[in-house]
Chains A and B, each alone.
Chain A
Amino acid sequence: MMGPARRVTVAHLWVAAMVLVTPVSAGALHVEEVAPGVFVHVGQVALAAADNGGDIANLGFIVGEEAVAVVDTGSTPAIGKDLRAAIEAVTDRPVRYVINTHMHPDHVLGNAAFRGTGPGGGDPFVVAHHKLARALAGRAAHYVASTDAALGPGHVTAGDVVLPDEEVEDVRRLDLGNRTIVLKAWPTAHSDNDLTVFDPATGTLFAGDLLFMHHLPVVDGSIAGWLGLTLEAAASDGAPVRRVVPGHGPAIGHLPQDEDVQRDYLAAVAQEVRAAIADGVPLGRMVRDARIPSGRWALAEDFHRRNLTAAFAELEWE
Chain B
Amino acid sequence: MDFAQKSSATAGRGLAALALAALLTLPAAAAEPTAWDDIRANLYGEAPLVEDGLITLEAPYRAEDAAIVPMTIRTALPDGDTRHVAKITLVIDENPSPVAAAFTLGESAGVTAISTRVRVNAYSDVHAVAELSDGSLHVAARFVKASGGCAAPMAKDPDAAMASLGKMKMRWFDAPETSPTHASAQLMIRHPNNSGLQMDQLTRFYIPAHFVSTLTIRQGDALVLRMEGGISISEDPNFRFDFTSNGAPLTVEAQDTEGNLFGQSFPAGGA
Contacts and interface: CB of A to CB of B under 8 A. Distances in A.
Contacts of A145: 122
Choose among A131, A142, A218, A221 the residue with the greatest number of B CB atoms under 10 Å from its CB.
A142
Interface string B153-168: 1101111100000000
Contacts of B267: none
Interface string A140-154: 101101100110000
Contact of B202 (A133, A161, A313, A317): A161
Interface string B109-138: 000000101000110000000000000000
B203 A163 contact: yes
Contacts of B93: none
B159 to A, nearest CB: 7
In terms of DSSP, what is the predominant structure of the interface of chain A? helix
Interface in B171-214: 171, 173-174, 188, 190, 195, 197, 200, 202-205, 207
The 7 closest A-B pairs by CB, nearest first: A284-B70, A137-B205, A139-B152, A305-B64, A306-B64, A104-B150, A146-B148
Interface string B247-268: 0000000000000000000000
Interface in B23-75: 58-60, 64-68, 70-72
Given A192-B156, A287-B64, 9 more contacts: A104-B150, A149-B148, A150-B149, A222-B157, A280-B171, A280-B173, A283-B70, A309-B68, A309-B70
A106 B152 CA distance: 13
Given A150-B149, A283-B117, A134 B70 contact: no
A188 interface: yes
25 contacts: A47-B148, A131-B159, A134-B205, A137-B197, A137-B203, A138-B152, A139-B152, A142-B66, A142-B153, A161-B202, A220-B150, A222-B156, A222-B157, A280-B171, A282-B72, A283-B68, A284-B58, A284-B71, A288-B60, A309-B65, A309-B70, A310-B67, A313-B117, A316-B238, A317-B169
Contacts of A192: 156-159
Interface of A: 47-48, 104-106, 131, 133-140, 142-143, 145-146, 149-150, 158-159, 161, 163, 188, 191-192, 218, 220-222, 280, 282-284, 287-288, 305-306, 308-310, 312-314, 316-317
B200 A137 contact: yes
Given A149-B148, A287-B70, A317 B157 contact: no
Give the size range of B's interface with the partner. Answer: 35 or more
A146 B156 contact: no
Interface of B: 58-60, 64-68, 70-72, 115, 117, 121-122, 147-154, 156-160, 169, 171, 173-174, 188, 190, 195, 197, 200, 202-205, 207, 234-236, 238, 240
Contact of B65 (A136, A137, A310): A310
B147 A316 contact: no
A167 to B, nearest CB: 13
A316 B28 CA distance: 51
Contact of B157 (A139, A146, A188, A280): A188
B60 A284 contact: yes
B174 A309 contact: no
Given A137-B205, A138-B207, A282 B240 contact: yes
A283 B72 CA distance: 10
Contacts of A143: 150, 152
Given A137-B203, A280-B173, A309-B65, A48 B149 contact: yes
Contacts of B195: 138
A158 B202 contact: yes
A317 B200 CA distance: 34
Contacts of B65: 306, 309-310
A137 B149 contact: no
B66 to A, nearest CB: 8
A142 B149 CA distance: 9
Contacts of B121: 142
Contacts of A158: 202
B148 A317 contact: no
Contact of A106 (B60, B117, B150): B150
Contacts of A161: 202-203
A48 B151 CA distance: 12
A146 B154 CA distance: 14
